[in-house]
Chain A
Amino acid sequence: MDVSWEWLQQYVSPKCSLDEVTDRLTMSGLNHESTTAIDHDFCIDLEVTSNRPDCLGHLGVAREVAILADCPLQIPEVKFAESDEDISKLCSVVIECPELCRRYTARLVRGVKIGPSPEWLARRLRTIGITPINNVVDISNYVMMECGQPLHTFDFGKLAGGKIVVREPKPNEKIAAIDHNEYGLVPGMCVIADATKPVAIGGVMGGAETEINNSTRDVLIEAAWFAPGSVRSTARKLNLHSDSSFRFERNTDIEALEWASRRCAQLIAEIAGGKVAKGCIDINLFKPERKPVSLRPTQIERILGIAIPTDFVRKVLAGLGVQIQQESADEFRVLCPSWRKDLSREIDLIEEIGRLYGYDKVPDNVTVAMAPSYKSSQTRMIDKVRRVLSAAGFDEAMCPSLLPEPWSKACSPWTDREPFISHQPMLGVLEKGSQNVGAVNCLRRTLIPSLLEAKRINEYRSNPDIDLFEIAHVYLPKAEGLPQEPLMLGLVSGRDFAALKGLVETLLRELNPEIAMRYEASKVEIFDINRSATIQNGETMIGHLGQISAAGKKMFGLRQNTTVVELDLSFLATQVVDVRRHQAISEFPAVKRDFNFILAESTPWVDLEKTVRDHAGPLLESIQFRETFRDEKRDGAGKKRILLSLQLRSKENTLSGPQVESVCDAVVQACQSSLGATLAS
């Protein structure tokens, strides 16, 4: 809201400086953005919150200043002579859509002389950035900027049938507005029509055909109330925002619009000449139902934390236009003014009293009792995950939660259900090179596509060592209702499958040293079938990892080898060992023995490991996989060699040769009998 300092002083005469006034306005809710010197005046830009349409006119701001600077508010007296012609004989008004327009008043001034506005008026409009057009149009703008009620003036001679019909548009109806563009009208919009055609878009903009011009003689003044929601959606649909729509959207004062109409008639008669027809057509479907509000002084201190003198309370209420109907020691019964729809409850009044008393008087050093706070097990786990990944050289990424459809379709390991779709796409979130992929409107069901895109961007920029992780929720639709939102960890890296598998195993054991993991074939389409796995814990899928296949790389524009991992942190949070228990360690030295087994290609490492573990006995400390290699010449086809090391140790003594030999014999025998494995010579 732009305010002219010179204009404002017509209504209030604060004894303090302009800077002090704007400071006090800021501290009482009208945030001061700037002051600009214009001509011999100042334009003060105030930020008005959406609950305060009363401050979208100079009078409303003046009312605040009057309270803050403790000076009287002077509201102009509206007086004008009326002619003998009765307006009801000259024109008529019908409201056909009471939902969109609850009150419409028409006033008529006949025999005006259109010309430039007087300098005082033109200058005030110029100060607040409104270009003067002609006296009648300027006056309607002036009154809007005075009291916050938008007005419209029609060239009455061009209104067919002298008639105003407030209605919804007819099919395919169009209007040429005063900005000389044509707008198509659709149901839900409020049209002001004459007997034959639309002449204005109610509350948004007037029509070109009936606008005031130099030949206008008779002026019809419209002062009406239009439904905020309808004005908002109309202005948005037509992309036609005006000072008028801005005010109607915020709910104008339906009870005060008649004052604005009279004020406008008065100024037109004074400035442009002409005679005001007798009376006013006022179609009013609004029933005032302001209820008294109870204000208890005890509640003021309970909410604000400070006691406020009753005299001050009375003064503020009076200044705001709140009528005190009854007063006792513990209660005020008050009626709030029509221009303050935001005041309907005790708490609303407490805010008024507080903000005008000054929040600077509220202390910032009261005693607040101490209270414990907790860190959830999941938060602790996430901290640990971040530490491990940081040590592994992975940088943390953050990606948008929505994906373009092709990426969403490419990969969905956690669910077969279709994703949630957003009606609005995310705009401006795709990098160059991905902008032709499609609208970003699918809620992601996995972190993998986002991370592949992050890697692509880094590859494109020739960045070395692209190792990224993200911790975020994914959105898995259920049969109905809100989706399930498990927390996921995603990794993307240029390292190979074994490196990432090693990292996953390290990470999982860091969370729970005893965690059971099983690796099975992965069904993720963009994974290389021979370099991928799902990770199972019993029947639960914990996650999956895989190297991206050639086709997958092509789809995501990747040039370098890429491996990804995704782990379900919500599940892992249920498995985590938060506080580890101590285990006694042996003080005796360990003995290490290597085994080079020849066994069938079809025997997986886990089987070999289990056989060894089951038969090595209590002296076994650890089994270490060393390598697998193949030597068809020596071992024949379908065979492989696995080299592994056992570490043995006793809690009771330094191991003797026979003790070690007996473990080795048992292992070799078990591998021979249950797996057909032989020791390489």
Chain B
Amino acid sequence: MSSGNLLSIDEFLGELNRLLNNAEKSFAAAGSLDTLEEARVEFLGAKSGQLKVVQKQLGQIAAQEKPVAGQNLNRVKDAIQAAFDAAKERMSVSSIRGEVDPAFDRTEPGNPLRIGRMHPITQTIKELTDIMGRLGFTPARGPEVEDERHNFEALNIPADHPARDPLENFYLSLVAKREGHSALLRSQTSTVQIRIMETTQPPIRVISLGRVYRPDTADPTHYPMFHQMEGLMVDRNVNLATLKTVLQLFATNYLGKSVPVRIRPSFFPFTEPSVEADYFWNGRWTEFGGAGIVDPNVFRAVGYDPEVYTGFAFGLGVERLCMIRHGITDIRDMYTNDVRFLRQF
């Protein structure tokens, strides 16, 4: 018998383990697809790969030990294949993301999602109310159609005052009685302050916001309807320094950094002293709005004792701030409602 030709099962299994060991090391060490392919040919090559060589040795195993040897051969074969697959997956990106399709153009636009925009006036108002909210001022609303008491009398604007001229206001009447007028579109949001003070006791910190109306013919800088924001603070120790401080805080908040604020004398019937407030921005003084200490006559009109309480009020035109903020040059654009305009903000 040619027993010298027989291979012991132990030797065969040792050979298999060595092979698996070497293959795993080679695959793991492969730095590129090319070297990995070389390693594959070396170990798994169909003609003369090392696995093939070891497989051929199966014939030298004693017959009774062949099943065990075969099982182990398959196990090692699968393990080597798995090691190779893992190495390839690790290395070859394209293998898990598919083949490059020349018809795919990643620069084509996606399906747009159309989001509506808030009107620039709304955005400005929101900014202003947020700032004033942080300073403790609560927004208040009042009617746009007002009586003369709230629009004029309680605001210390007497009957012969030019501001009450029929040509300076939108006086209203019902169709049924075209003669005379019972009401008008408010010409300022100070009316809301009167309504608040008539029904509330100090301390008060409110802002009133909304549409106001004056019969200017519409042009690039005028519109017969616009928006105002007015602040009112009433308490026992409110004075001009309080006003200046709040204006300073407001400007710092609005412009995002501390800027010089100045007040200079002006005239409004419902405040005394009355001032114009300016802030220094981009190298020049920019008008901010009117303000002042609430006139004692206004307090008397709402039943506050001016010897006990003092207050300040300030007002500003929302359109003007909005136009400066966004670089809008014609106020009429804001009320034409062209969607190409509205979608810019």
A interface vs B, CB < 8 Å? 26-29, 31, 49-52, 228-229, 232-233, 236, 249, 301-306, 345, 347-348, 350-351, 354-355, 359-360, 362-366, 368, 370-376, 379, 386, 389-402, 418-424, 426-429, 431, 443, 454, 457-458, 461, 463, 465-469, 472-473, 475, 477, 481-483, 485
Contact A360 B239 (CB under 8 A): no
Give the residues in chain A near B310, CB-CB below 8 Å: 302-303
Q: Which residue of B lies closest to A480 (CB)?
A: B182
**Closest approach, in angstroms, between the C-beta of B43 and any C-beta of chain A?**
49
Residues of chain B contacted by A457 (CB below 8 angstroms):
336-338
Question: Residue A431 contacts which of B244, B263, B336 (CB distance < 8 angstroms)?
Answer: B336
Determine if B147 and A401 form an interchain contact, defined as CB atoms under 8 angstroms apart: no
- Contacts A50-B162, A396-B122, A429-B225 supplied; 7 other A-B pairs, CB < 8 Å: A303-B293, A305-B241, A386-B122, A396-B342, A401-B213, A443-B172, A465-B339
Within 8 A of A (CB), among B95-114: 114
* CB atoms of B245 and A461 under 8 A apart: no
Can you give 18 A-B contacts (C-beta < 8 A)?
A: A52-B267, A303-B293, A304-B240, A350-B273, A359-B264, A362-B240, A372-B136, A373-B132, A373-B136, A392-B116, A395-B117, A398-B121, A400-B224, A401-B185, A401-B211, A418-B175, A458-B337, A473-B144
Asked if B116 and A393 make an inter-chain contact with CB atoms under 8 angstroms apart, the answer reads yes
Decide yes or no: A427 and B215 within 8 Å by CB, A302-B239, A394-B116, A396-B342 being known contacts: yes
Closest to A359 in B: B263
B146 and A359 contact, CB distance less than 8 A? no
Separation of A304 and B273 alpha carbons in the complex (Å): 9
Q: Which residue of B lies closest to A356 (CB)?
A: B265
Please judge, given known A-B contacts A27-B264, A465-B114, whether A421 and B173 are in contact too, CB under 8 Å: yes
Q: Which of B56-64, B70-78, B163-171 contacts A (4 or more CB under 8 A)?
A: B163-171
Can you list, as one digit per residue, whether each of B154-193 has a CB less than 8 Å from chain A (1) or not (0)?
0000001010011101111111101001110100000000
Chain A residues with CB under 8 A of B276: 31
- Establish whether residues B170 and A391, one from each chain, have CB atoms under 8 Å apart when the complex forms: no
**Complex CA distance for A1 and B176, rounded to whole angstroms:** 46
B266 touches A305 (CB 8 A): no
Q: Is the CB of B145 within 8 A of A463?
A: no
- Is there contact, CB below 8 Å, between B116 and A390? yes
Query: Which B residues from 188 to 205 make CB contacts under 8 A with A?
Result: 203, 205
Grouping DSSP codes into helix (H, G, I), strand (E, B) and loop, the B interface class, with mixed when no group exceeds half, is mixed
Other-chain contact of A419, B162, B165, B175, B262 (Cβ < 8 Å):
B175
Q: Within the assembled complex, what's the spacing in Å between the Cα atoms of A469 and B248?
A: 36
Alpha-carbon separation in the docked complex, A465 to B117 (Å):
13
- Closest A residue by C-beta to B269: A51
Q: Which residue of A lies closest to B219 (CB)?
A: A428
Q: Does B254 contact A (CB under 8 A)?
A: no
- Contact among B134, B219, B248 with A364 in the assembled complex (CB-CB below 8 Å): B248
Chain A nearest CB: distance from B331 CB in Å?
Answer: 11
Against A, the Cβ 8 Å flags (1 = close, 0 = not) of B252-288 are 0000000001111111000011111000000000000
Interfacial residues, chain B to chain A (CB-CB below 8 A): 114-119, 121-122, 132-139, 143-147, 160, 162, 165-167, 169-176, 178, 181-183, 185, 203, 205, 211, 213, 215, 217-219, 223-225, 239-242, 244-249, 261-267, 272-276, 293, 295-296, 310, 332, 334-340, 342-343
A461 surroundings in chain B (CB, below 8 A):
338, 340
Instruction: Let me know if B240 and A424 touch, CB within 8 A.
Output: no
Which one of B245, B272, B335 contacts A368 once the chains associate, using CB atoms below 8 Å?
B245
- Give B341's nearest chain A residue, CB to CB: A395
Q: Which residues of A contact B293 (CB under 8 A)?
A: 303, 347
Cβ distance B273 to chain A, nearest Cβ, rounded Å: 4
Among residues of B, the one whose C-beta sits closest to the C-beta of A365 is: B245
Q: Is the CB of B265 within 8 A of A355?
A: yes
Question: Given that A390-B117, A463-B340 are known contacts, is A482 also in contact with B145, CB under 8 Å in the complex?
Answer: yes
- Residues on B with C-beta less than 8 A from A301 are 239
Separation of A426 and B239 alpha carbons in the complex (Å)? 39
| A477 to B173 alpha-carbon distance, docked (Å) | 10
For residue A402, which residues in chain B have a CB less than 8 angstroms away from its CB? Answer: 170
Q: Is the CB of A424 within 8 A of B136?
A: no
Contacts of A249 in B (CB 8 A): 162
What distance in Å separates the Cβ of A339 from its nearest Cβ neighbour in chain B? Answer: 16
Contact call B239/A236, Cβ cutoff below 8 A: no
Residues of A contacting B169 with CB < 8 Å?
Answer: 424
Please tell me if the beta carbons of B267 and A423 are within 8 angstroms of each other in the complex. no
Residue among B135, B145, B213, B225 making CB contact with A420, cutoff 8 Å: B145
Known: A304-B240, A351-B265, A366-B242. A399 touches B335 (CB 8 A): yes
B174–A429 contact, CB under 8 A? no
Establish whether residues A468 and B114, one from each chain, have CB atoms under 8 Å apart when the complex forms: no
Contact B138 A374 (CB under 8 A): yes
Closest partner residue, chain A, to B218 (CB atom): A428
Q: Report B254 CB to chain A, min CB distance, Å.
A: 15
Given known A-B contacts A29-B264, A306-B241, A355-B273, A428 and B217 have beta carbons under 8 A apart? yes
Q: Within the complex, what minimum Cβ distance (angstroms) separates B336 from chain A? A: 6
On whether A303 and B245 interact (CB within 8 A), knowing A345-B296, A375-B133, A423-B171, the answer reads: no
What are the residues of chain A within 8 A of B143 when measuring CB–CB?
A: 482-483, 485
Q: Of B138, B146, B215, B334, which one neighbours A373 at CB under 8 angstroms?
A: B138
